[in-house]
Structure 1
Amino acid sequence: MRYIQLRQIKAGLPLRWEQVVQNARNKIAEKMKNARTKARQQGKSLRQTHELVIEARKIAINSRSRIWRMLNKQLAKVSFEKCWYCQSNDIRSPKPVDHFRPKSGVKDDPEHPGYWWLAFSWENFRYACTYCNSAHDNERKGGGKQDHFPILNPTKRQCRPGQLLEEKPLLLDPCQLGDSKLITYDVKRARVIANETICNLPQHSPKGIERAETSIDIYDFNHEPLRRKRETMFDALNQLIIDINEYLLDGFDMNVDRIRRKQEELIDRVRFDSLQYDYNEAAYCYLKAQVDKNPWLETILEEAR
């Protein structure tokens, strides 16, 4: 995970964005009004009427998914087409637009109608790969964020439009400054783990580790296919280090071009704006762990950042 500045999204909003969103909200309000009128004509109870109106709203919102898909390219651009959660750049993944606060219901609170008023709010959009966002089988039989949105104090959950400041998400948010630093990598096992040093700082304590571990589980950062991709990437980094060290032993002057090419590849693997390589934060952590044995890597990391 890497911090994403939301203001970069605002600058690229389509010219007619606000009008499109307002038109959609008007149509949804009309659908809800029609559902209420029909329910009353059929003699439905107040509870039944309410449920039918909520269902009409949900259907009307979901039928307008083209609206948030309008921003797909803009969301992809700010992360160089990588998932905002795990930094995957798998071209086979459609990378749908995720609603950070779910729009149609909350798995962690079955009575909650979802953050329907944020359905068309670009500030609530996140660019996510299939593994992080969608349901898939894993060890806990249900990986992916889906409609999960646990919060620290469930009594503070917002159920209608208004300030969200009292809600404290358990999920790490790539658009929240500092959240991405609460996780790091076990470079020996290629697994994402809580960054206990950062989690225990006063500004994140006492729930920092809980937030990190909850996010690792829900985003399924250690899903085995994803873990293996990081492991393969770590092996490639290790081989680059071995090659450079061998060239250095053979003589810098004789191998200067070979060394430079290998060093440039290391830099490209770490840079967030790399178009060729993904998992750049994991690559940074791996190389950082090798600095003691390979001091020359410090220059690589400085150039990459």
Structure 2
Amino acid sequence: MRYIDLHGSGGPKDATGATDTAWLAEAQALMQQLVAAPDKAARDVLIDANDELWGRLRDWLLRLSHDKCWYSEARDLFSVLEVEHYRPKKRCKRISKGAISDGYWWLSFDWSNYRLCGKVGNAKKGDFFPLATGSPVATYNGPSILNEIPLLLDPACPGDPDLLSFNEDGACCPHADADQFTKLRVTTTAVRLNLNHGRLRKARQRVWARCWQLIEDCRALAQQLNQAVGPAERERLNQKKEELRRMIRPESEFSAVAKDCLMKSNLGWVRSLAAG
């Protein structure tokens, strides 16, 4: 997971990069209809009848993440990445087998509530949106969503992606020094978004192994250079460092894994490379 600057993006853009005013006007009109609806049943019908609206923002959301899932950083060219609602729209489950409450219907057509998610993770998340014990619960014209304390990490929240860590086996996990609440948020997110799915773990494992091999290659080449070896070895060293730089760029698949691998090295130049 890497931070996606959704809220600083300026809102939906069309293919030319201009603000999609037509989409915004349609979303606003539907919001007014939701507010005027007599009950939940009528709201649900309205939401279902217009579910293509958020799908029209898929290409824009893809551009923000370099065509990657916002949660897993996977780029799947064969299956469709889905536009999901971070806060569920029609109904909401706070605990796995608990009662179902009304969803965040007033955010159904709010682009700031949209995230891009792989189908496997989105199916597992479903209507689940747990809050910390004692957290206020947002309602329309009541407490704001800004007062809530979600347990699910949000790729559009600046501090959340940095709470995730990875290991050489490709597992997604909390940092070793994380406090109990952070551990709860990370483990809840990993389970509910299926972030330790077998294929994801294997893909992360390959990225980690490649990073580690490059670090070891660079270490060996640097030792050779200390023995006054020629420019060919220096060029090889520079090429391997450049590959490491590419692996941690936002457009690279599983770049957060590569960055975490570099940050866990005990070599100063490697950690400096990861820090940019």
TM-score normalised according to structure 1 size:
0.76
Q: Which position in structure 2 is the counterpart of 1:110?
A: 99
Take 2:78 and 2:209, find their aligned partners in 1: how far apart are those partners?
Answer: 23
Aligned residues: 262
Asked if 1:239 is matched to 2:213, the reply is yes
Take 1:263 and 1:168, find their aligned partners in 2: how far apart are those partners?
Answer: 40
TM-score normalised according to structure 2 size:
0.84
Cα displacement (A) at 1:83 = 1.4
> Which of structures 1 and 2 has the bigger CA Rg?
1
Question: How many percent identity over aligned positions?
Answer: 27
Change (3 A) 1:238 1:214: same
Asked if 1:300 is matched to 2:273, the reply is yes
Take 2:29 and 2:230, find their aligned partners in 1: how far apart are those partners?
Answer: 65
Which ranges in structure 2 are unaligned for 5 or more consecutive residues? Answer: 14-18
Change (3 A) 1:117 1:261: same
Take 2:61 and 2:235, find their aligned partners in 1: how far apart are those partners?
Answer: 37
Change (3 A) 1:23 1:165: closer
8 A contact 2:75–2:253 mirrored in 1: yes
Q: Which position in structure 2 is the counterpart of 1:282?
A: 257
Deviations 1:1-40 (A, max 9, x none): 222222215263412233211333456678x56xxxxxxx
Cα displacement (A) at 1:58 = 1.6
Cα displacement (A) at 1:130 = 1.8
Take 1:246 and 1:177, find their aligned partners in 2: how far apart are those partners?
Answer: 37
CA RMSD of aligned residues (A): 2.5
Take 1:161 and 1:85, find their aligned partners in 2: how far apart are those partners?
Answer: 30
Amino acid at match of 1:267: R
Give the SS at the match of 1:156.
coil
Which ranges in structure 1 are unaligned for 5 or more consecutive residues? Answer: 34-52, 135-143, 201-205
Cα displacement (A) at 1:299 = 4.5
8 A contact 1:112–1:159 mirrored in 2: no
8 A contact 1:68–1:97 mirrored in 2: yes
Asked if 1:210 is matched to 2:169, the reply is no
Asked if 1:101 is matched to 2:95, the reply is no
Cα displacement (A) at 1:245 = 4.1
Take 2:78 and 2:248, find their aligned partners in 1: how far apart are those partners?
Answer: 22
Deviations 1:112-171 (A, max 9, x none): 12111100001111111223212xxxxxxxxx2111101113773234344223321111
Q: Which position in structure 1 is the counterpart of 2:160?
A: 179
Find 1:62's aligned residue among 48, 51, 76: 48
Amino acid at match of 2:170: A
